[in-house]
Amino acid sequence: MPVPGTPLIALRGVCKRYVRGQQSVDVLHGIDLDIAEGDFIALMGPSGSGKTTLLNLIGGLDRPTAGSVAVDGRRIEGLSSAELADWRARNIGFIFQFYNLLPMLSARRNVELPLLLTSLPAHERKRRALLALDLVGLAARAQHKPAELSGGEEQRVAIARALVSDPRLLICDEPTGDLDRHTADEILSLLKTLNERHGKTIIMVTHDPKAAEYARRQVHLDKGVLVGEATNGARA
């Protein structure tokens, strides 16, 4: 059980280096960061600042070269590949700029995909997928395929897919980068609702200052170093 007052996510001295041939590239330099349960963080910074790398380390998609990544008191950087995959499936929902929906499947079947790795029976997988679609306002579009949906609707399906296993943490990498302003605001409002009403902890990489205003906090990186942080005021 987590200790009261302990952050949901704690990064200590996190460094990341990539080796490419004879060259090594240092992307992150000694990152210390705490994220409380129920927080909504916008990670910002110029291209190449290390935002997506940091996001991947928190989500267990990559491992640090040095330092520790603890989620709910459990250090994940030392888990085996199989343990890490199981941990991600139970704890993390991923939302990306491009929706990565399978074009031949309906919205409901796309949302159901993460549950195929579980022992849930088919009727329970279907029930949970429909609940997730209802949560994002797309219950009536459950049988539509991606080509029959707008870009905003496709992203809602992707969000429902991220939610279907009821993860504690949503990892979002430029989730509105492929959307127009109006549709982006609708998706960001949905993420804000998931954070405020459903208690989801959200970490979102974005280049868009308007998108970052929907978060509770903005954390800025530059050249692999945390350079600033701001708390947002209430947004209608």
Rounded mean pLDDT, 214-224: 92
The answer to whether residue 71 sits within a structural domain is: no
Residues paired with residue 70 on neighbouring β-strands, in sequence order: 10, 75
The answer to whether residue 149 sits within a structural domain is: yes
The answer to whether residue 162 sits within a structural domain is: yes
User: Which residue in 53, 12, 31, 25 sits closest to 226, CA to CA?
Assistant: 31
Q: Is the pLDDT of residue 91 over 60?
A: yes
Rounded CA separation 231/145 (Å): 39
Residues 95-130 have pLDDT tens digits of 887 878 999 999 999 999 988 878 889 999 999 999
Q: Is the pLDDT of residue 2 over 50?
A: no
The answer to whether residue 46 sits within a structural domain is: yes
Residue range(s) defining the domain that contains residue 133: 38-63+79-231
User: Which residue in 204, 234, 176 sits closest to 45, CA to CA?
Assistant: 204
- The answer to whether 216 touches 208, Cβ cutoff 8 Å, is no
Rounded CA separation 147/134 (Å): 20
The answer to whether residue 203 sits within a structural domain is: yes
What is the CATH number for 49? 3.40.50.300
| Residues sharing a CB contact under 8 Å with residue 10, sequence separation 6 or more, in sequence order | 33, 34, 35, 68, 69, 70
* Backbone phi and psi for residue 83, each to the nearest 5 degrees, phi listed first: -65, -40
The answer to whether residue 27 sits within a structural domain is: no
Please tell me the predicted confidence (pLDDT) of residue 85: 87
Please tell me the predicted confidence (pLDDT) of residue 5: 55
Residues 145-194 have pLDDT tens digits of 999 999 889 989 999 999 988 898 999 998 888 788 888 898 899 899 99
Q: Is the pLDDT of residue 235 over 60?
A: no
Residues paired with residue 41 on neighbouring β-strands, in sequence order: 203, 217
Q: Is the pLDDT of residue 3 over 50?
A: no
Range name among 6-15, 48-57, 58-67, 89-98 with the lowest pLDDT average:
89-98
- The answer to whether 151 touches 198, Cβ cutoff 8 Å, is no
Q: In the chain, how many domains are there? A: 1
Q: Token pair 């903005």 is at which residue?
A: 218
- The answer to whether 26 touches 63, Cβ cutoff 8 Å, is no
Rounded CA separation 20/39 (Å): 35
The answer to whether residue 1 sits within a structural domain is: no
Q: Which tokens belong to 193?
A: 């609702």
